[in-house]
Amino acid sequence: MKKKVLAVLMVAALAVGVAAGCGGNQSSSSSAPAASASGSAEAEAPAAEGEYVLKCGSTTPDTHPYNLGINKLSELLQEKTNGAAKVDMFGSSQLGGERDLIEGLQLGTVEMCVISTAPLSGFTDDFLVFDLPFIFETNEQARAVMDSEVGTEILNSVAEQGLIGVCWFENGFRNVSNNVRPITVPEDLKGLKIRTMENQMHMACFQIMGADPTPMAMGEVFTACQQGTIDGEENPVPIIESNKLDEVQKYVSLTGHLFSPAPVFVGETYYSTLPADIQTAIMEAGAEAVDYQRQQIDEQTASGLEIMAERTGLEWNEVDKAPFKEATAPLYDQYIKDEAGCVNPDIYARVMEVVEAN
């Protein structure tokens, strides 16, 4: 009798154990995708696509050509990888300022960024050639340089610092906006406090024309103009319009004193972990997105002034660039020399060969 009771107890215990085991499996699978309307949990499971997602940062609003260009790059990348890779764009300094983005690439907290060349002077002097005032007269000249062999070398000059060059976007020619008066000759800048990027040559350009250059992060410019901390700033038209600086500025003068290329980088920390086919697709997508991004720059440069004039009554004027070139010419002797923090004479000569051919 005792043996029968023991046998019954053992069977019962085994049944409970099996039931508990099934219950455990059920519980652990509760975090899996819920069944679809058709009753298939598998239908809701994540697809293989989207395996590689690159966070890309910029300091510009969603409507700016930087961001539009990256969105195009992402579209092309998804096509090339059948959805396995894409780029998520975070504009308006959501991932930090330009220096923060560079550090993020190096640390692996950001995968991609599109920035101005100004913050790169701490890594290499090669980009400084773009900071010479009036080195380009037309978009065609600037684009020819970026597309040339020397342009590619400059883009790749920071690879050892963990920044892998994908392609050259651009921001266009920089112009002066302010609240005091239209700028028609260099003397009109005298005494004006003008926000510039934190770039020695940019600041020298305005100092030599009598202005008071004031380095400031882009995210602070609107408020500084609004509060009168600065009289004005200098930026390409698409930046001025997309940041709605016409709400706090009265005049834009088309000085075109500097051209702003915008390198797109991917962090080597992240890039080195990718399969070769994904790496290739990123580079190809970047190269193919360039024409689209340039088209956006051209369109927004052409339309931006009229949009602001209609929106807020902003006044804009063309300028004769000759006196501005004459005023800033001494900077070439000052900054083109074989010294740290200066434009390499060989790079300058190679860039000018391309300029003169275009």
Percent of the chain with pLDDT over 90: 84
Between CA 96 and CA 137 the distance in angstroms is 32
**Cα dihedral value 114, 284, 105, 142, nearest 10:** -40
Residue 217 pLDDT level (bands cut at 50, 70, 90): confident
* Residue 145, pLDDT above cutoff 60: yes
Question: How deeply is 103 buried, as exposed, middle or buried, from its count of CB atoms within 10 A (0-12, 13-18, 19+)?
Answer: middle
CA 54/CA 133 separation, integer angstroms: 35
Q: How far apart are CA 44 and CA 32, in angstroms?
A: 9
282 has a pLDDT exceeding 60 = yes
CA distance 115 to 119: 8
**Side chain identity at 86, as an amino acid letter?**
K
What backbone torsions phi and psi does residue 118 show, to the nearest 5 degrees?
A: -55, -45
The average pLDDT across 270-294 equals 98
pLDDT beyond 90 at 346: yes
pLDDT of residue 41: 34
Which pLDDT score, from 0 to 100, does residue 223 have? 97
Contact 133, 331 (CB under 8 A): yes
Residue 17 pLDDT: 38
From the DSSP assignment, how many helices (H) and strands (E) are in the chain?
13, 9
pLDDT band at 49 (very low <50, low <70, confident <90, very high): low
Using alpha carbons, select from 238, 234, 233 the residue that is nearest to residue 303. Answer: 238
Cβ of 96: how many Cβ atoms within 10 Å? Answer: 18
Task: Say which amino acid occupies 107.
Answer: L
Residue 22, pLDDT score: 34
- Is residue 13's pLDDT more than 90? no
Q: Is the pLDDT of residue 328 over 60?
A: yes
pLDDT confidence of residue 48: 55
Mean pLDDT of 90-117: 96
> Could you tell me which residue, 268 or 43, shows the higher pLDDT?
268
pLDDT in tens, 249-274: 999 999 999 999 999 999 999 999 99
Taking alpha carbons only, the member of 96, 112, 139, 124 closest to residue 294 is: 139
Question: What is the average pLDDT across 51-58?
Answer: 97
How many C-beta atoms lie closer than 10 Å to residue 87's C-beta?
A: 26
Task: Report the pLDDT averaged over residues 303-311.
Answer: 98
Mean pLDDT of 99-122: 95
- Convert the pLDDT of each residue in 151-189 to its tens digit: 999 999 999 999 999 999 999 999 999 999 999 999 999
* Predicted pLDDT of residue 172: 96
Q: How far is CA 137 from CA 5, 134, 355, in A?
A: 100, 7, 9
Max Cα-Cα span within the chain:
116
Q: What is the CATH number of domain 52-356?
A: 3.40.190.170
Is residue 122's pLDDT more than 90?
no
For the chain, the domains span 52-356
Phi first, then psi: give them for residue 124, nearest 5 degrees: -160, 155
